Structure 1
Amino acid sequence: MIFRTEITPLKSKQNIDHKDKIMLIGSCFTQNIGEKLINSGFQTSINPFGIIYNSFTISQCLDYVLENKSFTKDDLIENNGWYSYSHHGSFKGHTPEDLLDKINNEIAQSHKFIKETKYLILTLGTSWIYTHNDTNKIMGNCHKIPSSQFTKSLLSIEKTIEVLSKSLDNFLKTTNQNNPKIIITVSPIRHIKDGYRENQLSKSMLHVAVEELLKQNSKIDYFPSYELMMDDLRDYRFYESDMLHPTPQAIDYIWQKFSQTYFSHDTLLLSKEFEKLHKLKQHRPFDTTTKDYQLHLQRIKDLEEELEKKRFI
């Protein structure tokens, strides 16, 4: 008897390996997969603007990074500290100058990285956008500013396709890598603060937009993280206590499916070795002066050198 609907994504014709650079932009699910990639030894850059959810801000982030475009004070807002209209709240400054230094340094570093990026992974979270009434700017995060200062609306399917298509074409022209690839996924995390029906409407619009992007460009792949969570796991034991975010077990399952889709057998084996290295680095001794701990550090150093050589074989 079959007790669940298991999803097996089609094996990608193009494999990611440890020589490739990967940039991820989007929702907190991007953060989950990005950290898995880092722990598995991949050269990875995650969310230059912090966690962001709507397609307009994701596209804006990509454009600024590709063009190495700097933010100015006009792009900031003050609310018990200085924030950016386009960034996650983790980008905060006591002064405009502090924040602009942090933002523009991150853009400059990400610009260098993206020129060598072979795989761009986007996770779209919502079609709902919040426009600041005074400035007419679309917010990446509302930074606890009163809702009366915003107009809430849906970013149309046509506009979603337009902004993403333009930014993705720009990426393909900018990267110096041969045969670059874009992987798009829809975040499985429900935005129920918008309302249950409103969340379904939002996610449905994202799916329609992504389908059109897939038809337009053969360089774009779709990875079904949304379907894996909603139709494969589909059980509240795979959700955190908020009943919205996936548990570590669920993230591990989706990561396993991602690995099987985009990694060769050799890459999977090397990933396991990098994961062992990561676990070794997590060890925190009571006494750092012991001979055993010094041997432990030497073992880490030796393994790092060995794996770095394997990366480019």
Structure 2
Amino acid sequence: MQHPYTRLPARSFWRTAVAEPDPLDITDLWTPKFTISQDDPVVTAGSCFAAHIGRALLEQGMHWYDAEPPPPGLTRAEQSARGYRQFSFRTGNIYSAAGLRQWVAWALGEERPPEEVWEHDGTFHDPYRPAVEPDGFASPDELLRSREVTLAAVRTALTRADVLVFTLGLTEAWHDEATDTVLPMCPGTVRGTFDPARHVLHQHTVARVHRDLTRTLDLVHRVNPRLRTVLTVSPVPLTATATGRHALVATTHSKSVLRAAAGQLADEDDRVDYFPSYEIVTGFPYRAAFYEPNLRAVTPRGVSFVMRHFFTALRGRPDPAHPAHPTTPVTGGEDHWCDDAVLDYYNPRPVPPAG
């Protein structure tokens, strides 16, 4: 008697798909819904892990679209410190779906961003891009002009792109109740001053994340109906949680919500796909092999392994630039790209015993 399980491929069974192969030889984790050709403009944004994707696209000779290139004369370190060439526009990290919806609504003229700026020691900082100018802006006008440049870059990128790759990072988001906006970081950490009367932590639900993603894509498709979207979830854990939960429990909750929302939207919309970077790094067959000793930053070897799956699936053949058994030295890390890494500064350290 026939039933659906008699016709399933080996990839559908845990033993043949996961338990028996060497973890580095597990294949077919992603079957792309649509092709991404060499010349298709690809826009990337999201949490710190997303910064790897644009660089990998460039290395593969694909068209990563940088809508806000750096001015001449900056070193690579200066470009990175000022938020250039990490994503397709200089928004800094966008950790939440709500943050993406906000930037898109501002860029497309659906909403107007507040003109509030943060002042510190005679320099000025953008509440919505607190880390893009480490030394601050010389005046509020300079800050707002710079933000308008970024909004124009977002608008241009989304209008011209064929593909958007967005990496979801967090569900914990600080909202400014006075302006009805979502902030990328809690005020008082990277910049600004915390005000408990107006700065409130929201824990976004699956329904909220799904709604924000849907509204974002609805806005973009009005100006670019051909845009296709690849959603991913960052494998980087929370640096800290303000929920009162254990950091491990809070991380599991946050990533589960994001994964569920991204998967639901991908199941519902033919123009949206989900790429499993989260599963590739965090799946227990890999036994945390792709993390630095801090169990947070993903090693270059791990990034290479993730991108090997990405390009192999797109091209239908192994990618020689990202081998199955990468030999890239396990050094470095990505915390310098993560605005929220600063939260570890506030971690109370144990006092060493006297003597």
TM-score, normalised via structure 2 length: 0.67
Q: Distance in 2 between matches of 1:242 and 1:205?
A: 24
1:44 is matched with 65
Q: Does 2:167 correspond to 1:123?
A: yes
Q: Distance in 2 between matches of 1:232 and 1:257?
A: 17
1:77 is matched with 118
1:152 is matched with 201
2:34 is matched with 14
Is the Cα contact below 8 Å between 2:164 and 2:229 reproduced in 1? yes
Which structure: greater helix fraction?
Answer: 1
Letter paired with 1:157: V
Q: Does 2:225 correspond to 1:186?
A: no
Q: Does 2:256 correspond to 1:207?
A: no
Q: Distance in 1 between matches of 2:168 and 2:294?
A: 20
* Equivalent position to 1:258, from 307, 310, 326: 310
* Equivalent position to 2:54, from 34, 37, 43: 34
Q: Distance in 2 between matches of 1:4 and 1:40?
A: 25
Is the Cα contact below 8 Å between 1:71 and 1:100 reproduced in 2? no
The superposition leaves residues 208-256 of structure 1 with CA deviations (integer Å, 9 ceiling, x where unpaired) of: 2223212331211000000000116633442224320111110011011
2:298 is matched with 246
Is the Cα contact below 8 Å between 2:163 and 2:228 reproduced in 1? yes
* Equivalent position to 1:225, from 261, 277, 297: 277
Cα displacement (A) at 1:27: 0.3
Letter paired with 1:187: S
TM-score, normalised via structure 1 length: 0.75
Q: Which runs of 5+ in 1 are unaligned?
A: 273-313
Is the Cα contact below 8 Å between 1:23 and 1:117 reproduced in 2? yes
* Equivalent position to 1:23, from 14, 33, 43: 43
- Name the CA shift for 1:240/1:88 in 2 (closer, same or farther; >3 Å): farther
- Name the CA shift for 1:174/1:233 in 2 (closer, same or farther; >3 Å): farther
What fraction of aligned residue pairs are identical, expressed as a percent?
20
Q: Which runs of 5+ in 2 are unaligned?
A: 1-19, 67-86, 242-246, 323-355
Cα displacement (A) at 1:82: 2.4
Q: For residue 231 of structure 2, give the secondary structure of its aligned residue in structure 1.
A: strand
Letter paired with 1:238: F
Q: For residue 44 of structure 1, give the secondary structure of its aligned residue in structure 2.
A: coil
Q: Distance in 2 between matches of 1:72 and 1:145?
A: 15
Is the Cα contact below 8 Å between 1:71 and 1:103 reproduced in 2? no
Cα displacement (A) at 1:133: 5.5
Cα displacement (A) at 1:157: 2.1
* Equivalent position to 1:138, from 175, 182, 191: 182
- Name the CA shift for 1:210/1:176 in 2 (closer, same or farther; >3 Å): closer
- Name the CA shift for 1:256/1:226 in 2 (closer, same or farther; >3 Å): same
Is the Cα contact below 8 Å between 2:124 and 2:139 reproduced in 1? yes
- Name the CA shift for 1:135/1:79 in 2 (closer, same or farther; >3 Å): farther
